[in-house]
Amino acid sequence: MSNARLTGLPEREVVRQVREVLRATGLKLQRINTGSFAVGEGRSRRYIKTAEAGTLDFEGYDNHGRFCAIECKRQNGGRLSPAQKARIDDINAKGGVAFVARSGEEALQKLKENNCI
């Protein structure tokens, strides 16, 4: 039995599929990588944070101008952090659309269900 059968799609593949869905639908969501990196050397060395904790994988706006965000998770075992769950709940409570997708097909279905495209 292959490892893919045991674990489902890895997160990088889910991200790739969701990116293709966004290209095909024309939605203006951009990929956001979170983390930090060091710049400078010695005493002038500092760390730059790329995005706030809880920022979702794709964020932008749908075809009606609503804020829209998608968090990609692998099919088996992918879990939201508390900050990601709080962000999804906050976006949805304020009239935006945010959700977790475990495949490009699921993302497309949820975008249609939420009248984003």
pLDDT digits (tens, 9 = 90+) for 91-100: 999 999 999 9
Cross-strand bridge partners of residue 48: 37
37-92 tens-digit pLDDT = 899 999 999 988 888 989 999 999 999 999 999 999 998 988 999 999 999 999 99
Rounded Cα gap, residues 78 and 100, in angstroms: 10
Q: Cα(115)–Cα(4) distance, rounded to whole angstroms?
A: 32
What radius of gyration, in Å, describes the C-alpha atoms of the chain? Answer: 16
Residue 77 and residue 54: Cα distance in Å, rounded?
18
**Domain housing 27:** 3-113
Q: pTM value? A: 0.87
CATH of the domain at 13: 3.40.1350.10
Flag whether pLDDT at 1 surpasses 50. Answer: no
- Transcribe 86-116 into DSSP letters: HHHHHHHHTT-EEEEESSHHHHHHHHHHTT-
User: What's the number of domains the chain is made of?
Assistant: 1
